[in-house]
Structure 1
Amino acid sequence: MLLPEPCQIATLLRRYQRFLADVVLDDGSVLTVHCPNSGSMRGCSTPGSPVVISRSDNPKRKYAWTLEMVQEHGVWIGIHTGRTNSLVHEALCQGVISDFGAITRITPEVVVSTKSRLDFLIESEGGPTYLEVKNCSLAEEGVASFPDAVTTRGAKHLHELVQLAEAGFGAAVLFCIQRSDAIVCRPAAHIDPLYAETVAWAAEHGVRFVAHQAEVHPREIVIRRSLPFFIH
């Protein structure tokens, strides 16, 4: 996935009010940008870090520039959660993500209840699979983990997936790790123990968990490989 043009590198001053960040450009000017990430951004929001920002030509936007990625300890980290599904969709179509066999059709944003939808319905030789995608930007000591803040929505999706699995459908969660310094992935029990417990429960009830890692560069993000996912 190529990032939209124009893009440029800046320096992070602060991230605040969840969806805003201030950055400083090479000429010293300060710019307020949209931060498309509702998590804590633990480990990827240190003031002084290099960042990549992109500009939108939408005249209705209050903030024209968007925070795309942050560099920590020499590693670029994709933090734009709005791009995660497109990134995964691209890898599914190209066969880079092959966990679900030969895919014949991918339907995004599938309604599963009156109040909820899941990211994809994948139809393949093995039958239909409902797939929820989670962006993973947190990694510590080589372990990528999700979530980086307490998530009630994530646990809700797991309950919905269990219901689908028990009804005979395929049900899965894919963690998209947008950084290159992780070698394994697991639930962040130290941040949200209830979510980690729900992952273990869902796995016992037929939900699959897979993790895939992207290479993140200032102009491009590409899913390259799968990583081991450990329940505990």
Structure 2
Amino acid sequence: METRLLTYPEGCRIGRFVRREKRFFVLARLDGQEVVAHTNNTGTMLGLLRPGMPVLLSPATNPARRLKWTVEALGQPCGDGFFWAGVNTSVPNRLLEAMFHAGLLSWAEGYTNLRREAVNGESRLDGLLTGPDLPPLWVECKNVTLVEDEVAAFPDAVTARGTKHLHTLMRLAAEGGRAAMLYVIQRPDGRCFDAADYVDPDYAAALSEAVRAGVEVYPTVFHVREDGVYYGGMLKYRGA
């Protein structure tokens, strides 16, 4: 039985994707009308933006917010139906904490404390795990929505910030700590994981360098349902 790690807010609705406007707005058809929803995903969402496909919208928790809906996931065709690809980029950080408390971080056995949004120098990383007689374990999370030829891949757009995070992790590993990348794959059709060198060759080169420097890589699948996000297990990192 799958473990549900995150629950979506009450009142989620399914609309139909119309188009994306600029970076932060998605137009969707809901109850016969077009509504504007917020998306926090600043990537290209390459291959996901399919007019007429379902879009999962969660209601704004702040009644004063101008946009009443947030995009959680976009439907992708699969046979006669579809599957959800989760595009909310606030989810990976929350999933790290949920996995920690659920005992699903097999690679962090013995660690007893997790601090989210941990600052080191000029960088802010998603998590810092500590435990008795264990080196600090720094974790950065990335949301993965791109799959090509059954290979889940990151990034879907050039990311200088992502490359900077890898160099920070390399430094932390060289200083005697542990450093890890948690790739949160919010779609079910990837069979392995790799860097998207065809999108950002600099990031791909930095990831290979990071692995050689001792940075750990944990690609993990999550299944998006209409009631939340479920743990789906780990994928093989093809570049290992």
* TMscore range, shorter length: over 0.9
Q: Please name the residue that 2:145 is paired with.
A: 137
Structure 2 letter corresponding to 1:206: G
Separation in 1 of the partners of 2:28 and 2:53?
A: 10
- Shift of residue 60, structure 1, vs aligned partner: 3.3
Query: RMSD of the alignment, in Å?
Result: 1.3
**Structure 2 counterpart of 1:123, from 130, 133, 147:** 130
- Shift of residue 97, structure 1, vs aligned partner: 2.3
Deviation track 1:92-128 (CA, whole Å, cap 9, x = no partner) reads 2111221122321101111111x32111001246432
Residue 169, structure 1, aligned to residue 177, structure 2: yes
Separation in 2 of the partners of 1:89 and 1:16?
A: 32
Residue 222, structure 1, aligned to residue 194, structure 2: no
Aligned length: 230
Unpaired runs of 5+ residues, structure 1, are: none
Residue 67, structure 1, aligned to residue 75, structure 2: no
**Structure 2 counterpart of 1:38, from 25, 31, 42:** 42
Q: TM-score, normalised by structure 2?
A: 0.92
Secondary structure, counterpart of 1:181 in structure 2: coil
Q: Which runs of 4+ in 1 moved over 3 A?
A: none
Structure 1 letter corresponding to 2:128: L
Residue 148, structure 1, aligned to residue 127, structure 2: no
Residue 23, structure 1, aligned to residue 31, structure 2: no
Q: Please name the residue that 1:7 is paired with.
A: 12
- Of stretches 78-87 and 54-63 in structure 1, the one that deviates more from structure 2 is 54-63
Deviation track 1:152-173 (CA, whole Å, cap 9, x = no partner) reads 0000001111111100000111
Unpaired runs of 5+ residues, structure 2, are: 1-5
Deviation track 1:40-82 (CA, whole Å, cap 9, x = no partner) reads 0012111111011011131332201111101111121100001
Q: TM-score, normalised by structure 1?
A: 0.95
Secondary structure, counterpart of 2:43 in structure 1: coil
